[in-house]
Amino acid sequence: MTVDSHITYIYKRNGRLVQFDQDRVTDAIFRAARSIGGEDINRAKELSDEVVRVLNETFEAGERPTVEEIQDIVIKVLEQNDHQATARAYANYRKEHAHLREGRKSGEVAETVPYKILWDVLSWNVDYGCESVEHLNEHVRRGTLPIIIEAAEKVYHDEIDNLAQSILKKKDKIRIVIIAGPSSSGKTTTTIKIGERLAEEKISLTTIGLDNYYKNLKEHPKDEFGDYDFERPESLDIELINEHLAALIRGEEIQMPFYNFKTGQREHKTTPFHMEANQILLIDSLHGLYEPLTASVPVDVKYKMYIEALCQIKTPDGEFMRWADLRMLRRMVRDSWARSYSPEMTVGHWHYVRKSEMQYIVPFISQANYIFNGSLPYELSVHKKYLWKYMDQIYNAYKDQPKRYDAFIRARRVYELLNAVTPIDDDSCIPRNSLMREYIGGSVYKY
């Protein structure tokens, strides 16, 4: 950018103070332009420079404008520069989000932020001195990170026990336990562990992986970059899932498909599968809270758990790390060795992940019987160890691609974050039954 802003902080609508990021203005302008056929990222940058000039003229150094005030200036700049159509697209987007916020205020959309859990997570991090990247780095330098790892693993497994007890209280009615949550939140490992814990209580369990019900990759449309949007519930064979779940509840045997993630194809072989009369079926799925996915199953026999990586660690700029960024780092690591995706491709694909989460996962959190924290306070130091060698390549891959400006912003954000993190040298202190092993490998479990 060519214009220096003397505005360093702004107020969000909820009153929170955050750093001003001109790239977010550029991205918003570019998205509005693209929605009506525009493709000139350089023009979007020039217009965001003009927005900064107006901000500098309107506010004194050190003043803190609101998001609404900045948006008003964006529309004014677009109109003054003969971009009325883009200004209308930007204003319409703004209006749609205002309606969504009003819905939340009026109760039309239920609360989706588990504040009490966030407070508990932050309090634990403060008590153990790992509530920021700086403090986490200090543990690595002092050689005390293994202590944090051991304590964090105990918290995670204690929460597994709590969840198991919640399920046991309803064991006489429940036939299906659904472990739902966004990508790389820890569903698979947590599902396995819940199964282990319930088995200790003599609860007969069986597990079905809905990932096997993905449609063949060729059935999904490609975007202009050759990427597939397979994050939507419709990427799954919902009709077959419901047919099979209903049959299982009736005590019938099904032929469960097998999906090969390496080839992107559902293979011809199937696996005979059935439930005994006294069994509970465990399901882990991105979209487990999405009602059409299990519509054939009566509500009163389903128990729904939602898992999210509710990390409460502050980055060097004083902001809490985004949960979605932590999950993206996890997926980057896992995809680099377990699937046919490079970390670079993961960053580029992530907009599909977030779009699906916001549409099909987050709005249904209030339907969950239990909310579970799937983050581990030590994991940034582990991600640095495994991902740093890729970061220059990822950053440069999207830097000069105007149409992938959203990917560049993500790449730059995690690049700057990991640049400030001190990596763990030896991760052998991470237990082989840890959730972390789902992403870095070496687990006792087979995924």
Residue-wise pLDDT tens digits, 234-293:
889 999 999 999 999 999 999 999 999 888 889 988 999 999 888 999 998 889 999 999
Per-residue tokens: 87: 């200004």
Q: Provide the pLDDT for residue 263.
A: 87
Structural domain containing residue 436: 115-440
Does residue 447 belong to any structural domain of this protein? no
Chain-centroid distance of CA 111 in Å reads 18
How high is the pLDDT of residue 111?
54
- At residue 120, the pLDDT reads 94
Query: Do 23 and 53 reside in the same domain of the chain?
Result: yes
Q: How far is CA 55 from CA 49, 107, 153, 411, 422, in A?
A: 10, 35, 47, 27, 37
Inter-residue contact 289 to 365 (CB < 8 Å): yes
One domain, residues 280 and 383: yes
In this structure, are 98 and 185 located in the same domain? no
pLDDT of residue 368: 93
**Residues 127-146, mean pLDDT to the nearest whole number:** 97
Whole-number average pLDDT of the chain: 89
Q: Among the listed ranges 104-113, 129-138, 139-148, 369-378, which one has the minimum average pLDDT value?
A: 104-113
The CATH number given to whatever domain includes residue 276 is: 3.40.50.300
Sort 57 into a burial class: Cβ within 10 Å, 0-12 / 13-18 / 19+. exposed
Of the three residues 43, 73, 106, the one that is the final residue of a domain is 106
Q: CA 37 to CA 81: how far, in whole Å?
A: 17
| Chosen domain end from 106, 129, 163 | 106
Identify whether 446 is part of a domain. Answer: no
pLDDT band with cut points at 50, 70 and 90 for residue 97: low
25 and 151, same domain (yes or no)? no
Outline where DSSP puts E strands in 232-340.
Answer: 254-260, 265-273, 280-285, 302-308
Across the range 7-31, mean pLDDT stands at 84
In a shared domain, residues 123 and 26: no
433 phi and psi, to 5 degrees? -100, 15
335 near 386, Cβ under 8 Å? no
Among 142, 140, 188, CA closest to 438: 188
Q: Are 52 and 189 in a shared domain?
A: no
Residue 4 placed within a domain: no
Asked, for residue 86, whether it belongs to a domain, the answer is yes
For residues 360 and 254, state if they share a domain.
yes
The pLDDT tens digits of the residues spanning 166-191 come to: 999 999 999 999 999 999 999 999 99
* Poorest-pLDDT segment among 65-74, 96-105, 121-130: 96-105
Domain end residue (candidates: 106, 136, 162):
106
The pLDDT of residue 5 is above 90? no
pLDDT at 93 over 90: no
Residue 13 inside a domain? The answer is yes
Domain count, the chain: 2
Shared domain check, 129 and 93: no
Mean pLDDT in residue range 433-440: 97
Q: Do 156 and 49 share a structural domain?
A: no
Listed residue (447, 419, 416) closest to 433, CA to CA: 447
Dist. CA 302–CA 310, nearest whole Å: 24
Long-range (24+ apart) CB contacts under 8 A made by 16-21 are 17/64, 18/319, 19/317, 19/318, 19/319
Which one-letter DSSP state was computed for residue 447? Answer: -
d(C-alpha 401, C-alpha 181), whole Å: 31
50 shares its domain with 165 = no
Percentage of the chain beyond pLDDT 70 is 93
